[in-house]
Every structure is written in C-alpha cells, then in structure tokens.
Structure 1
C-alpha cells in the first residue's frame, strides 16, 4: 500500500490521507440533544447547517449515540435497553424517532436528504455487539452459522454504557460481525463514523480497532473513522493513525475552563503526529445553546476565542456541538471566521513554543508560504503584557502583523510584538 510521509518521518496509509486530507469540520448532536435527537430535529438542524455553516466548510452532519434506542432520554442510559435491531442483531434507527426507517431501510432516506443539502452523513456507534443480540443469540450476518453468543466477550463491557459486549476477535465469525455492520452503514450512505468505547483502554481494544478498519476497507464506500473517547495514549500513535483518521485525545470535553486548560498539554504532546489523514481530536466545540436547551455555553467570550484559536492552530477537527436552531450571530462569526478556518484547514509546520509561565505560544505557516501565524494564550486569571521577540519563535522575517480577532494592525518594533492579553484570552496574529 502506498504511504504518505509525516513531518516526524512516520507514515500513514495514503488512503487515510485521501479520506481526511484536512481536519474534518461539522456538527454533532451530543452536546445539544444528548441521546434524544429525532429525524425531524435532525433534518431541521441539517438545513440550518447547510445554510449557515456549510459555506465555511462544515460539512459532516453526525447523529450521536443511541439512535437505535426507542426510549432514549437525556444524558443517562437505560439500564436494560431494548434497541431496534434486524434479524442479525444489527442496530437499526428506532422507528418511533426516525419514521423513515420503519420499512427496514435504516438511515438510507435520512442520509439521502442530508446528502441533497451538500452535507456528509455521520453516525455514532459503540464498540462490540448488542447485549440484546447476545441474549437472543441471533445469527451473525455473513458467517457460516455463527451466532452472537459465540463471538461475544461478556467480560468486555463499557463502564458507562450498557448497550454492548465486546467481540472476541480470535473466534470464528468475529470479523464477519464487523464486516456486516459496516456493510450496512455503507448501504445506508454513511460517510463518517464516530466509534465509541474504543480508545480507553487502548490495548484491550486494539484488535477491535483493527477489525473496524478492515471492515471499512471491505464495505464498498469511503468512510472516515473517528475513535472515541480518550485519552488515546500518545505511545500508540503509530497504531491509531494506521487504523483511523481521527481519535480523541481526552474524555468528553465540555464548557469548563479547567478542561480547556488541560487540552493545551494534550495538543502539545500530539502535535508531531498531525498530518493529512491523521488528526488528534480535542473533541467538539461546546458553543452556543447546550444540554437539551437548558443553558448557553459557560465559556466567556475570551475563552471562546481561546478555544477556537487553539483548535485551529493545533489543527484539531472542528465539530460544532451547540444547538444550531439557536445559533446567534456572535457564535456564527466565531465559527466561520475565514482566517481561522484557513489556519485550521491549510496551515503547516504547526508547533508549540515555551516562553513564559502562564502563557502558551503556537506558530504555524501558511500553505503558500506567504505568511505565518502566531497564537498567544493567557492562561492566568489576570491580564498579561505580551512581549515576544520574533527570533524566539522563528518568525524574524515578519514585517507586519494583523490581529485576527480584533481586525487591527499590530506594530512590530525592533523585531518584537507587544500587547496586553486578557485573562483566559488569546491573541491570534497573521504575520507577513
């Protein structure tokens, strides 16, 4: 198989680079709908996404967890789920929530409508085989008479979700199970899969990660694979980038300053492994209206700019999590700033620098070599006066600077930049 080289000298499959040549951008239902999204809500959101966010590049529309659970509610899980399944135990959209699936066509009709809007269609799935399929001992699609109980590893369970058992990959029929479910997703028209309960503990699940990768290769449709949740161990970077295009670097990320502060170190540790088809994922953007409409983001405006600046310059996927039905002008402007999107999608040589306690500094260069980027973050509770010698960050050739968020010029005096950075705030400069 042809390979694509990375900046560190490591390699990822060329097919992965083709599937996700730039960090995926899109929307995911978890932060705003939890387990409860319906077909009507999905289509309403997809139409808003196509109108408001698609022009900026956000094109992956993803239905998150438990679309197969008729009685899904809130951010908790039913202890004894009764999921919708076909006769082989493959999960189906719950018809009371997704009426177009009632005839057995799964997500095909919803995916068709999402595609017609110019979007790609994604779904969330859990690792393993449904416990309900094992209890009924249903046959495994594509196998030679193997049944669910024969491939289930009932000792391998998710600590926070009761839906699935792991699959014992050494047993006959185990790969058939994964081939069968991914073949179904391909037939539905799925373009993106967020696969949960995979990255932790990583080594315990490595065989199922490989099985999912093989199944996608055989499914007959290009599908981007995103592994969740984290922390994916950095020591397993070579393995994960061979088998997925995105992987979470942390547990679920929400609108909490402590969580945001912790992502700095994780993204710094992962930056050598960023390349086309290889995207460490700092998780969704919890902006705007969240949590079943109960509240707006707790991030201050300064923290929101910090979030967008860090995700952009570290080249994390940009997946909006807030309820688009309540998208306000300020959040829309934050998400769609053309310079920030360009930084995320087309910059290179992105790297952190360590200059002073309480400050985090990143630089990057534009794909055309015309300009460079400098991001400075103030992690303290008080304002900090920034004074950066451009020679210290490899940007000594710069003659002018533009503050992206303020849309103002910033003078360069004797090779130094100076400005006060607000608490928990970010300064993003384009230098020429």
Structure 2
C-alpha cells in the first residue's frame, strides 16, 4: 500500500505507548482501530518502532549486548516471541499482509548501520563474497542504542548490506521505513546509501529520518534528494516545554514544506501513553486539553506529518475528536504558505492559505472562494485576549470568521480570549 507523500503522512507509531517491546497483538489492535475509526479521515500508516528484533526488549531503556534475532546474512528479523506470525522465516510478511488487508500501509523502524552481533559472527552479506566485517565501521556507534555499528561507505560491502536489508523489507511488503540515528550528527553517506537501497529494491518505500536534534536547514537539498520526512527535534513527550520549543523550529522549517519532502515535528504524545515506554508510567497524556489543541494546530499549520503515539483502542473520546476534525485536517492536506506571521512575547500568530475553495463561502450563486487560516497562540501561563486583524495577512473585504475547534462564528472586531498555552484557530471565508 503505497504511502502518499503529496500531503504529510498520517499514522500511528508504537513508540510512545509501547517503547521497544510492542507485540504483534498490540500492533494489530491499533491497526484495526485505525481502519475502523480513523482511515476515512486520512490516517493510514501503522509503524512498528524500535527493536522489533529484540526478544528481551523492555520498557525504560535498552539491554546491553542484546540477543537480537538475525537471519543467516546478518539482517534483522522479528522476534518470534513477540511476533508469532514471523516464525519459520516469514518475517513481517504475514503482519504486513494483515495491515494491508485493512486498507493501511505498514512501516517499521530500523537503526543506522549493521548489527554488532552480525559483525561478531562475521556473517556473509547476501549475494557477495563480503562479510559483515568488511561492511562495518566499528568506530561509528550510536551513543544511546547498543544494537549496531555504522557502515564504512568507502567499501562496497556497505551498500550491499543496505541493499540486502531493504530488499528483505520490500519482500515483506514494507511501505515505510523510519531510519534512526541518521541526523544527529548528519550522516550524509548513510542517508544517500539507504535511499539508493530503496530505489534498488523496486518497491516505493517512504524513508523517514530521525532524530533531528539540532537539524539545520542547510541540509535541505540533501534531505529532499533522499527522504520524504525528516525529524527536526529530539523525541517530543507530553510536556508543555517540548511543545513550546517546537514553535521556533517550525517557524524556520514551515517555509520549506513541499509535496514529497516534509519537516517532521515528531509524534503526537496524546491519549494513553507510557504503557511500556521509555519515559514515565502508564498514563493519559499530561498535556492539558488546551495544550493538545495547540500542538495539533501548530502541526497542521506547519504541515508536519502526524504520527499518533497513544494506544488507539484505549484513547479517550476527546483525543479522538482532535484527530478527526475535518476542518482542521483540511489545513494539513490542502493549504500552503503556512508560517509564522508575528511573535510578540507569548503572542504568536500563524497564517496559511487554503489551496481549494470552501464551497459554502459567498452568497448563493457566487463562485466559491479560497479561505485563509489564522492561528492565534498564547504561550503564557495566564489567559490572554487578542484582536486578530485579517488585514495583517492580506485579507480584506467582507468575510466570515469561524473557530475551527468550536465551530463558533466569530466577530473579529471583538477580542478573542485565548487560554493559557492555548490557541484560537480561525478560518476566514471571503464573501463577494
């Protein structure tokens, strides 16, 4: 099921709720919920995050010298104690097929490089006379995960290993790969080699790069040439300070967004998270309702991919309503020019333009006109009021103003009340 990257991808990722230890049953439960309740709104990607090949994976960190599951050619395979359908060499093929049958796309996470265990065993690289030792750069390691060595791209064994790994993913039916430890520092050779392996696989697989800590727009051309998504921050959790810090980053990256290449502000830590996660215990997201609306509004105005991190079957109705507001998701799918207009202390104003008309705008018989979106944020700890002036974004003449979260028709001559850490998201529909 090819992932459409002409608009920002939308999906579910297992990390925020299950960390490294998600199971097949949990993935399927979330996929089935997505197909039943979210697919019609555009949510259609299911991603199994880190260490699906680690039979002893646990919450709250990584095991030293993990006993990762490998095939005879040093390629990771799903741990059968967690993914029962992967037994007897089936890999993720059966699970991907189940996900596809639901009308969804299937994705997985992978670390940069080659498993250290493959190097220790000096396993052969498929279709070559080389071995893992030839491919590995043992001096290149991830500072926070013990699974892999980097690759030595001065040796052709490095590209051969990625080619073999991605060919296996393609054979399983993988549609989306989240490749981690790629951006901090920026591993340009690794990124280009992975993109080449995807091209050689013959399958249209979307490449998403992480983690993005300190990522600079100077890398934009390289990113666009090789990937469809790239993270612009470290992991984002259910803390207001994490959301707050994305405002400056997205102000820099939003003007670069275009079909096929999306700056990614990271997952949505909403709903029920922390079930077996890296940080914190089983909990509902600690973001307040206003903070959650701010997060969703900022992400759609900046056209960041949306990857939900909570456990969908146990997610509360209010959170599901955030994910399924058609008027808000319209901004993600059909707008351009999104960006910050102004920032004055805690007062932040964003705007974007609709790229297709609002059919009900104007009087009967008038041709429909495209809307303008305004998002008035208040980042402070106390409520605020603000006058939103359409002239500030070039909207003149008569128009209707609608709050897209409440559905309320507004009189913008009156100040808008904005709650602490909150937002008012307004669509301006011009009249003729």
Contact 1:399 1:412 in 2 (8 A): no
> Aligned to 2:260, which of 277, 281, 295?
277
Contact 1:398 1:431 in 2 (8 A): no
Deviations, residues 52-106 of structure 1 (Å, cap 9, x unaligned): 1112110000000000001101131011111111000000000111111111011
Alignment of 1:383-398 (within 5 A): 383-397=383-397
Contact 2:77 2:91 in 1 (8 A): yes
SS in 1 for 2:188: helix
* TM-score normalised by the chain length of structure 2: 0.93
> Aligned to 2:101, which of 112, 116, 120?
116
> Match for residue 378 of structure 1?
378
Q: Following TM superposition, by how much is the alpha carbon of 1:172 offset from its aligned partner in structure 2, in angstroms?
A: 2.5
Deviations, residues 325-372 of structure 1 (Å, cap 9, x unaligned): 211111110111001111111111112111522111111111125211
For 1:297 and 1:379, how far apart are their aligned partners in 2? Answer: 19
> Match for residue 238 of structure 2?
255
Alignment of 1:29-428 (within 5 A): 29-143=14-128, 145-202=129-186, 205-231=187-213, 232-292=215-275, 294-369=282-357, 370-397=370-397, 399-413=399-413, 418-428=415-425
Q: What runs of 5+ residues in structure 2 fail to find an aligned partner?
A: 277-281, 358-369
For 2:79 and 2:345, how far apart are their aligned partners in 1? Answer: 51
Label 1:330 to 1:297 Cα distance change in 2 as closer, same or farther (>3 A). same
Q: Following TM superposition, by how much is the alpha carbon of 1:308 offset from its aligned partner in structure 2, in angstroms?
A: 0.6
Label 1:98 to 1:379 Cα distance change in 2 as closer, same or farther (>3 A). same
For 1:62 and 1:42, how far apart are their aligned partners in 2? Answer: 8
Q: Following TM superposition, by how much is the alpha carbon of 1:398 offset from its aligned partner in structure 2, in angstroms?
A: 5.3
Q: Following TM superposition, by how much is the alpha carbon of 1:193 offset from its aligned partner in structure 2, in angstroms?
A: 0.5
For 2:29 and 2:179, how far apart are their aligned partners in 1? Answer: 25
> Match for residue 11 of structure 1?
none
Q: What runs of 5+ residues in structure 1 fail to find an aligned partner?
A: 1-15
Contact 1:248 1:281 in 2 (8 A): yes
Contact 2:135 2:157 in 1 (8 A): yes
* TM-score normalised by the chain length of structure 1: 0.93
For 2:159 and 2:37, how far apart are their aligned partners in 1? Answer: 41
For 1:195 and 1:397, how far apart are their aligned partners in 2? Answer: 48
For 1:99 and 1:110, how far apart are their aligned partners in 2? Answer: 9
Contact 1:306 1:377 in 2 (8 A): yes
The farther-off stretch of 146-155 and 394-403 is 394-403
SS in 2 for 1:400: strand
Contact 2:376 2:388 in 1 (8 A): no
For 1:52 and 1:421, how far apart are their aligned partners in 2? Answer: 31
For 1:336 and 1:327, how far apart are their aligned partners in 2? Answer: 13
Contact 2:255 2:337 in 1 (8 A): no
Label 1:398 to 1:264 Cα distance change in 2 as closer, same or farther (>3 A). farther
Deviations, residues 168-225 of structure 1 (Å, cap 9, x unaligned): 11112111111110111000000001000001101xx110000000000111110000
